[in-house]
Structure 1
Amino acid sequence: MASSRTLYCYSLIIISVLFTLSEATDFLVGGKINAWEIPSSPSDSLNGWAEENRFQIGDSLVWKFDGAKDSVLQVSRDDYLSCNTSNPIAAHKGGDVTVKLEESGPFYFISGAKGHCGNGQKLIVVVLSKGRRHFYGISPAPSPMEFEGPAIAPTSGASGLVVLRSGFSGALIVFLVGMVL
């Protein structure tokens, strides 16, 4: 039988994981600064990065790019597919852009710079309702490709930078581990 100290440690780990899963997350688009650019090949599409991440209501997308040369337009599905920049849902300029994802479903983003969208500078993000983030045995979100239409070749291992906005779970873990030790 496990000692009470061991059970206490396991309980703390489970609680900290649950807190972490419920926190809102800021996702740096493409996993790096200046990822908002024309991809060098179809396999470098930002949609590959989006497929590797799970987005929930309350999370935010963060773009870091040269605002003098480009912008981020949130558009409808039809405008995404046709690269229509004339009727955006929202236009974000300035280079440091944060978009909070406030509802579930697909979100469509294209570059506002002339010709960039047609050359692949666009992004679909599928937002899950709370509590469905991919985690050990829970099914992942539908692929953004299901919403786009034409297929895009899969990407090779682009990793995303995920930054938790709230430090509560980290502080709780440090505090509780300190109590046990």
Structure 2
Amino acid sequence: MHDGTRAHTWFPFPTTPPASFQRLLPSILNKALPSFPTKPSLSLSLSLSLSLHGLIRVLVALLLASILGSSEARDFLVGGNDNAWRVPPNTTDSLNQWAEKNRFQVGDSLVWKYDAAKDSVLQVTRDAYLGCNRSSPVAEHKDGATVVRLHLPGANYFISGAAGACEEGEKLIVVVMSERHSLRGLATAPSPAESEGPAVAPTSAARRAVVFGSGMACSLVVLGMLM
């Protein structure tokens, strides 16, 4: 039978700060606020402690919600608009530059919009991508509204099926991040340019960013649990 009280089961943290923190807070405030006309009382210290505790709980909750929300699969419209799958007007407007600005995870999908009477999308190997070889694609799509789901981490190569279009720059590399290294917003996106060389793994800078971001997230979670 419900007793009328509200159980706070949504967040597994204690409702009051540890006693050790409460004992230390007055001395911390005395050092931090030497110009106070009177020394902070224990009640004031406890009040500030509770306020700080509540703030940290909110921050940790928002962080966890952001991390969990980022794991949802997303659809990416290739190039960001319906007319992007075409020969780029110049070298500074390539689809690979668009890909560099995004972070792709396993489970995400790529969406193409194009005129099926004039073009198509070929998923190819790395060698076929570099040589613009349209003869033996891994998969061919020509429905005008292509959706390709990214099932595995690593590089994915796409070229146009129209004659001569790949040679003029209508092609795309999408590097999918590993699931264990996919904190969106904390990791640097692997560059498609790296996948044209021997290696397709994220750069050392990207790995350092992931480690730093993961460590920061874990630190905030631990801090919230201690508070």
Normalised TM-score (structure 1): 0.75
CA contact under 8 A between 1:83 and 1:110: conserved in structure 2?
A: yes
Matched, 1:112 2:166: no
Q: What residue ranges of structure 2 are gaps of 5+ in the alignment?
A: 1-48, 198-227
- Does 4-13 or 39-48 show the bigger shift? 4-13
- Mapping 1:4-153, distance limit 5 Å: 5-133=54-182, 135=184, 138-149=186-197
Count of aligned positions = 148
**Structure 1 residue aligned with 2:208:** none
Closer, same or farther in 2 for the Cα pair 1:139/1:12, shift >3 Å? closer
CA contact under 8 A between 1:126 and 1:142: conserved in structure 2?
A: yes
Hey, which of these two has a bigger chunk of helix by percent?
2
Hey, which of these two has a bigger chunk of strand by percent?
1
Counterpart CA distance in 1 for 2:95 and 2:50 is 47
Normalised TM-score (structure 2): 0.61
- In the TM superposition, structure 1's runs of 4+ consecutive aligned residues that sit over 2 Å from their partners are 1-12, 131-136
Q: CA deviation at 1:15?
A: 2.4
Counterpart CA distance in 1 for 2:145 and 2:193 is 26
Counterpart CA distance in 2 for 1:113 and 1:75 is 14
Q: CA deviation at 1:5?
A: 4.9
Q: CA deviation at 1:134?
A: 5.6
Closer, same or farther in 2 for the Cα pair 1:104/1:40, shift >3 Å? same
CA contact under 8 A between 1:22 and 1:131: conserved in structure 2?
A: no
CA contact under 8 A between 1:71 and 1:113: conserved in structure 2?
A: yes
CA contact under 8 A between 1:71 and 1:95: conserved in structure 2?
A: yes
Closer, same or farther in 2 for the Cα pair 1:73/1:2, shift >3 Å? farther
Greater relative contact order (CA < 8 Å, ≥ 6 in sequence): 1
Counterpart CA distance in 2 for 1:83 and 1:59 is 25
Q: CA deviation at 1:66?
A: 1.3
Counterpart CA distance in 2 for 1:106 and 1:43 is 21
Q: What residue ranges of structure 1 are gaps of 5+ in the alignment?
A: 150-181
Counterpart CA distance in 2 for 1:49 and 1:117 is 17
Q: Percent identity?
A: 53
Instruction: Kindly report the root-mean-square deviation, in angstroms, between the aligned alpha carbons of the 2 structures.
Output: 1.7
